[in-house]
Structure 1
Amino acid sequence: MTDLPDHLLAGYRNFMTGRYVAEGDRFRTLAREGQAPETMVIACCDSRAAPEVIFDSGPGELFVVRNVANLVPPYAPDGEFHSTSAALEFAVQALKVKNIVVVGHGRCGGIRAALAPASEPLSPGDFIGKWMSLLAPSASAVSGNALLTAGERQTALERISIRYSIANLRTFPCINILEGKGRLKLYGAWFDISTGELWVMNRQTGDFERPEIA
């Protein structure tokens, strides 16, 4: 018996008889020459919002890091364990990506948790609660606005989290320097799972706008 769920093995068989047949040369080139993606994507680990699917990307095109609510913590060289910061360091310093895109999405469970900090934690460690406390000031401001509906508060904080992460990206010295020299660009986007709409953050105003699609 092979120790993987049946649906994963079935998916792998489809991959080997389908996509790998079509893109085998690409995979072999990547294995031989290494990866050189121009774009890093920081996205939520929600299974419904996979960046490679949203952007229809092939192997080797995107360097992706995913965490709860697509958050970038502030730069903190304190000797602790920082998985997102480690991925950023590798993408910027080793791979020398030209773009970093923070992608949020609708109906995010992490954002919902941030808007309800008093709810019962999922575990004694309350890892999600601690992680989402990064957004506590913004969550408090949004949740206190009685003129917004629950859905509007959710969407507002989802988009604020993208701006928050982009602001924190600029606390990393290497990113701040490279952006200042025009060698690295930072972007934000928000994906609506139910409609498939992508809203892109205007880098001048911070507003989220629908791009024109031919």
Structure 2
Amino acid sequence: MSSFPETLTDRYRRFRNRHFVLHADHYEELATYGQSPETMVISCSDSRVDPETIFTAMPGELFIVRNVANLVPPYETGGQFHGVSAAVEFAVLNLRIKHLIIMGHSGCGGVKTALDQSAAIQTDAQFISRWMSMLDQARISVLASHQNSPQAVKQEALEKEGIKQSITNLRTFPFVAEQEERGRLSLHGAHFDIKTGILTVLNHSRGIFYPL
């Protein structure tokens, strides 16, 4: 049997002694009364991009789902398992969140796979290839409009188009569309640049990202 990672054991002890003890009342309140976050963030699984760190959030403030390339599939009730859809449903209908943010980032490996499909084939990444197929149309659009651009520019363009696509897919969920139409839910797009630490957010009417 493998032992629990020693580095994580040490970090947990530091958390318990330096953080938890100082905020014990807050944790007790969360345990007693449950969570009531106003914001949900769907972000990438990438270890370099942590929403709680970026937004300096305390436990209970953000409802977070992380997956490869921060994607939301379109609404459908077939198949068997719908992790992202279940989380969106719970956040919107049970937690009654007010804001739902799709947050992408620079240098996304999933988006790189979507842009260069041979990368997935070389590693026999059947799950990633299928998941990233949600960006097939966006990839075609980006390649057509950036024919002479460097690969890095194409990559960033597809990262941002992926954010827009996920927002479009969110609006195919009847309960999301209804809450947005009633003014009870706002959908947002954001893109974090790992190197500079700059967060840009989507202007829906203009379809462009601008820095906060």
Q: TM-score range by the shorter chain?
A: over 0.9
Match of residue 207 from structure 2 = 206
CA displacement 1:64-121 (0-9 Å, x = unmatched): 0000000000001114211100100111111111110000000000000000113353
Q: Structure 2 matches for 1:49-128, cutoff 5 A?
A: 49-121=49-121, 124=124, 126-128=126-128
Q: Is the 2:105–2:159 Cα contact (8 Å) retained in structure 1?
A: yes
What residue identity is the alignment partner of 2:58?
G
**Distance (whole Å) between structure 2 residues aligned to residue 185 and residue 155 of structure 1:** 24
Residues 68 and 110 in structure 1, CA contact (< 8 A), matched pair in contact too: yes
| CA displacement, residues 15-68 of structure 1 (integer Å, 9 cap, x when unaligned) | 011111221111110001000000000000000001001100000000000000
- Whether 2:39 is the aligned partner of 1:39: answer yes
- Please give the TM-score of this superposition, normalised by the length of structure 2: 0.95
Pairwise CA distance, 1:206: 2.0
| Counterparts in 2 of 1:66 and 1:122: CA distance versus 1, 3 Å | farther
The AA in structure 2 aligned to 1:168 is N
| Match of residue 186 from structure 2 | 185
Correspondences of 1:20-35 after superposition (within 5 Å):
20-35=20-35
Moved more, 145-154 or 28-37: 145-154
Q: Which amino acid aligns with 2:10?
A: A
Structure 1 segment 2-21 matched on structure 2, within 5 A: 3-21=3-21
Single out whichever of 76-85 and 188-197 deviates more from structure 2.
Answer: 76-85
Task: Tell whether the 8 Å contact from 2:120 to 2:128 is kept in structure 1 after alignment.
Answer: no
Aligned length: 211
1:161 is matched with 162
TM-superposed CA distance for 1:202, in Å, is 1.1
- Unaligned ranges ≥5, structure 1: none
Contact 1:190–1:198 (Cα < 8 Å) also in 2 = yes
CA contact (8 A) 1:139 1:157 kept: yes
Distance 1:94 1:112, change over 3 A: same
CA distance in 1, matches of 2:161, 2:185: 22
* Worse-matched range after superposition: 143-152 or 71-80: 143-152
- Does structure 1 residue 134 correspond to structure 2 residue 141? no
Q: Which amino acid aligns with 1:199?
A: T
Match of 2:171 in 1: 170
CA distance in 1: counterparts of 2:142 and 2:66, whole angstroms:
24
The equivalent of 2:197 in structure 1 is 196
- Matched letter for residue 112 of structure 1: K
Q: In the alignment, is the contact (CA less than 8 A) between 1:115 and 1:140 conserved in 2?
A: no
1:102 partner SS: strand
Q: CA deviation at 1:205?
A: 1.6
TM-score normalised by the chain length of structure 1: 0.94
CA distance in 1, matches of 2:122, 2:17: 40
Q: Which structure 2 residue ranges, 5 or more long, are not aligned? A: none
